[in-house]
């Protein structure tokens, strides 16, 4: 392209866009400066202008600092093949894509020949061109696939032989180590697989330390699942910079004693609540409620380094020994966190709640709040329980003065109990009444809680207690989430819904067959509602011996549910029995909530930091991405809990432990330790000399001679044979079983067939409302 000279000064934004679009070669700052005849100070000014255009969403930069129009594809870039259709046509997407708009799908134009020489997963360097509304790619070079990393422990055989033992439970093959580097036997390492099957070797790329040391169990999960756990310098610098900005003009709510009720060890306080009787005569007997949520969108602006990193992470990940936050701690644990006595920026949901718990009205404002107290769930519950003997809860003035907390004061000062907690509980009774009438899915399945001592060692593993204080906060959060979704729908604004679809027919058929083994009827063809499953639970609980089988019935009902996802298309939330639902209440730790905040800011003209057009166009892609990242976080958290449980049980290898069967397959059954969790396999080969057949409908292994049944949910004592803290794997055997498989074993007829997993894996644990 010929040089475009201007009489003086910099080119306009449009001239730069026209040049980039018309250039046959990648256009970087040097090429743009040369094209417009810039030198000296103008080059410095051009650099600033290009940075501004990138911040405004007009251009993106490709690797090597070549620019292209935002949402476009660089002239030369690396692509990843995602599909080869029946005609042999290959399709690819950019390997790196940081624009707000969905990544484009490029048609790969190969030389004429017999079909595509490319396969799914291949990487190519290609020259791209726009054709009509789409893009085409001309391959220049086929690149090596990205190195496959494996996490494992180094062990030594003989004097010079070192092998890598993978930590993944399913990976049983050990790899010879070709390059050990500084690693030593016993080290936890990251290694690259090299060579080709069957001659694969491992090259150590990073030493992570002692696999049995405190904090190593979460570190294993972080590396195994590829969770970003260190913030780039540009992100932390930006966090420090935005943390100092003034709160600006906001509704002043600092006089209202709003409280944050959280886990005792919480550091990121997203939400705080307050309630008082409503003086509005049109809402007689009702309540006015404030749900104050950290105003993260005020600090994390679209397209910023903070925003890109938050989107990349999707959510915070919580382990027993650490939190991997979505935002740097400057924001997540300090400036955004709603801390006692500190003025904080909040996006506030003002609610009117009727005396029967219905949402009468809502409005959203940006406000300045000053939290009266950060209260642990247990302390809030204890404070309310102490008032049970009183005849009635007296509700004080909604603007009671802020209490001064003395050194020897109780965990919750009496003024806060009377002025804030009692009204909160009274209003919650109305919300709870509405919840019961709505009939959501209620499954009383305990969560495990790992308690560590001051040195990071395991002190205990026990079910997590669920208090009314937990339910109270959950119901206030659900109310605010519903209000946010409805407020955006009223403005026809983009909504990132939290969708939970009803169970599919195939899963309902499997549930019907399973319930039939307990003599419980379940009719297909009926309109399935959450209350349908609640009625099943009630019927089982009312039968003789129902309490013994109730946990496995509830687990099977949970497995029947679909996974909850994020999407701009509304399908309702089946589990909560709600027609419209979005996550609004946890923007410090969930990117979905940040999107909802931005949409509210834009829709209701609440100031800067609103949703951009690019973000609105990319809602589908963003929803898919953050749903995947949520599942990644859940798997990492679950894997880490399994490792802690295995470490806790490692001193009991050889003991008999109380177990319950959680999954049955043709090759054996899985069992979990009562009260602790963790899954371990009992292979069918260790069940004795008789043949056991697999009954899929009843999820059972049945002995042909003895008719002994190993059925889902059965409680039994098993011997703990192995507890591996590094993999999190457990292995059990019957109390009198030989340790080795029997000779000449007769294998079940169904062992070679693929069956859907019946174990804990895949259980949709993300359907609970409010904080989930």
Look up tokens 């989430």; give the residue: 481
Positions of E strands within 118-258: 123-131, 134-143, 149-157, 161-166, 175-179, 188-194, 201-209, 251-252
From residue 433, give the alpha-carbon distance in Å to each of 275, 409, 426, 446. 16, 34, 11, 23
Q: What is the pLDDT of residue 54?
A: 65
Check residue 304 and give its pLDDT.
94
The pLDDT value given to residue 400? 40
Q: How far apart are CA 260 and CA 269, in angstroms?
A: 7
Give the model's confidence band at 464: pLDDT under 50 very low, under 70 low, under 90 confident, else very high: confident
Cα–Cα distance for residue pair 568/749, rounded to 1 Å: 46
| % of the chain surpassing 70 pLDDT | 83
* Cis preceding linkage at 229, omega within 30: no
- Look at the block and give the residue holding tokens 């990073």: 206
pLDDT range class, residue 546, cuts 50, 70, 90: confident
364 φ, ψ (degrees, to nearest 5): -120, 135
Going by C-alpha positions, the residue among 27, 100, 544 that lies closest to residue 302 is: 100
Q: In the numeric block, which tokens belong to residue 205?
A: 């790329």
Q: Hey, CA dihedral for 414, 420, 423, 427, is it positive or negative?
A: negative
The residue assigned the tokens 């969108």 is: 297
pLDDT digits (tens, 9 = 90+) for 273-308: 999 999 999 999 999 999 999 999 999 999 999 999
User: Is 90 exceeded by the pLDDT of residue 598?
Assistant: yes
Closest CA to 663 of 627, 688, 700: 700
156 exposed, middle or buried (CB, 10 Å; 0-12, 13-18, 19+)?
middle
CB 189 within 8 A of CB 162: no
Please tell me the predicted confidence (pLDDT) of residue 194: 76
* Run of H or E residues at 660: strand 656-665
CA distances to 296, 343, 365 from 255, rounded to whole Å, are 22, 11, 16
- What SS3 state is found at 361? strand
Q: How far apart are CA 180 and CA 466, in angstroms?
A: 48
Output the pLDDT for position 57.
Answer: 52
Check whether 201 has a pLDDT greater than 90: no
Least confident of 42-51, 513-522, 679-688, 736-745: 736-745
Alpha helices in 136-208 (DSSP H): none
pLDDT above 50 for 572: yes
Q: pLDDT confidence of 418, banded at 50, 70, 90?
A: very high
């Amino acid at each position: 392209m010929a040089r475009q000279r201007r009489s003086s000064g910099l080119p306009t934004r449009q001239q730069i866009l026209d040049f980039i679009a018309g250039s046959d070669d990648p256009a970087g700052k040097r090429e743009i400066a040369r094209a417009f005849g810039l030198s000296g100070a103008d080059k410095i000014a051009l650099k600033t202008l290009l940075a501004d255009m990138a911040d405004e969403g007009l251009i993106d930069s490709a690797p090597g600092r070549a620019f292209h129009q935002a949402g476009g594809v660089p002239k030369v870039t690396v692509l990843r093949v995602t599909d080869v259709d029946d005609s042999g046509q290959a399709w690819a997407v950019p390997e790196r894509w940081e624009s707000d708009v969905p990544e484009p799908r490029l048609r790969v134009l190969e030389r004429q020949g017999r079909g595509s020489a490319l396969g799914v997963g291949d990487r190519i360097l290609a020259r791209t061109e726009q054709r009509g509304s789409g893009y085409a790619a001309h391959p220049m070079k086929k690149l090596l696939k990205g190195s496959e990393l494996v996490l494992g422990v180094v062990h030594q055989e003989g004097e010079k032989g070192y092998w890598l033992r993978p930590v993944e439970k399913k990976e049983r093959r050990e790899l010879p180590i070709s390059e050990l580097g500084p690693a030593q036997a016993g080290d936890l390492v990251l290694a690259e697989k090299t060579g080709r099957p069957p001659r694969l070797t491992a090259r150590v790329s990073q030493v992570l330390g002692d696999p049995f040391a405190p904090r190593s169990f979460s570190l294993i999960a972080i590396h195994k699942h590829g969770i970003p756990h260190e913030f780039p310098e540009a992100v932390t610098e930006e966090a420090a910079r935005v943390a100092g900005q003034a709160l600006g003009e906001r509704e002043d709510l600092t006089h209202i004693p709003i409280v944050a009720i959280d886990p005792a060890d919480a550091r990121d306080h997203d939400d705080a609540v307050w309630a008082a009787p409503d003086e509005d005569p049109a809402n007689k007997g009702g309540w006015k409620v404030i749900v104050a949520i950290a105003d993260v969108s005020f600090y994390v602006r679209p397209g910023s380094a903070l925003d890109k990193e938050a989107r990349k992470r999707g959510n915070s990940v919580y382990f027993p020994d650490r939190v991997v936050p979505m935002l740097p701690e400057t924001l997540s644990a300090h400036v955004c966190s709603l801390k006692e006595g500190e003025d904080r920026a909040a996006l506030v949901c003002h609610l009117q709640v009727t005396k029967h718990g219905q949402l009468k009205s809502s409005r959203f404002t940006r406000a300045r709040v000053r939290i009266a107290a950060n209260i642990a769930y247990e302390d809030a519950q204890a404070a309310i329980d102490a008032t049970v003997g009183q005849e009635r809860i007296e509700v004080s003035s909604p603007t009671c003065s802020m209490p001064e907390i003395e050194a020897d004061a109780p965990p919750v000062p009496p003024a806060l109990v009377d002025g804030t907690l009692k009204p909160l509980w009274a209003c919650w009774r109305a919300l709870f009444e509405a919840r019961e009438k709505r009939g959501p899915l209620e499954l009383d399945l305990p969560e495990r809680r790992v308690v560590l001592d001051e040195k990071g060692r395991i002190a205990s593993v026990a079910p997590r207690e669920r208090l009314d204080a937990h339910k109270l906060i959950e119901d206030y959060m659900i109310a605010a989430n519903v209000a946010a979704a409805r407020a955006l729908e009223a403005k026809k604004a983009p909504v990132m819904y939290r969708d939970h679809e009803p169970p599919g027919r195939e899963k309902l058929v499997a549930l019907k067959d399973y319930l039939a083994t307990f003599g419980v009827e379940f009719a297909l063809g009926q309109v399935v509602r959450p209350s349908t499953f609640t009625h099943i639970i009630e019927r089982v609980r009312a039968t003789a011996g129902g309490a013994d089988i109730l946990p496995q019935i509830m687990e099977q009902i949970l497995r029947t549910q679909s996974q909850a996802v994020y999407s701009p298309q509304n399908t309702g939330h089946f589990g909560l029995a709600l027609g419209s639902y979005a996550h609004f209440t946890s923007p410090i730790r969930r990117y979905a909530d940040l999107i909802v905040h931005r949409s509210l800011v834009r829709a209701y003209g609440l100031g800067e930091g609103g949703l951009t057009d690019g973000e609105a166009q990319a809602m589908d892609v963003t929803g898919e991405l953050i749903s995947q990242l949520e599942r990644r976080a859940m798997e990492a958290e679950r894997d880490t809990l399994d490792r802690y449980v295995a470490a806790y049980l490692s001193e009991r290898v050889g003991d008999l432990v109380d177990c319950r069967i959680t999954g049955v397959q043709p090759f054996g059954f899985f069992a979990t330790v009562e009260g602790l969790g963790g899954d371990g396999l009992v292979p069918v080969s260790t069940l004795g000399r008789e043949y056991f057949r697999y009954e899929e409908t009843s999820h059972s292994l049945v002995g042909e001679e003895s008719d002994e049944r190993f059925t889902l949910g059965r409680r039994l004592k098993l011997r703990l044979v192995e507890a591996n803290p590094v993999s999190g794997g457990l292995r059990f055997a019957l109390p009198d079983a030989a340790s080795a498989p029997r000779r000449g074993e007769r294998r079940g007829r169904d062992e070679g067939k693929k069956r859907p997993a019946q174990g804990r894996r895949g259980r949709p644990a993300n359907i609970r409302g409010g904080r989930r």
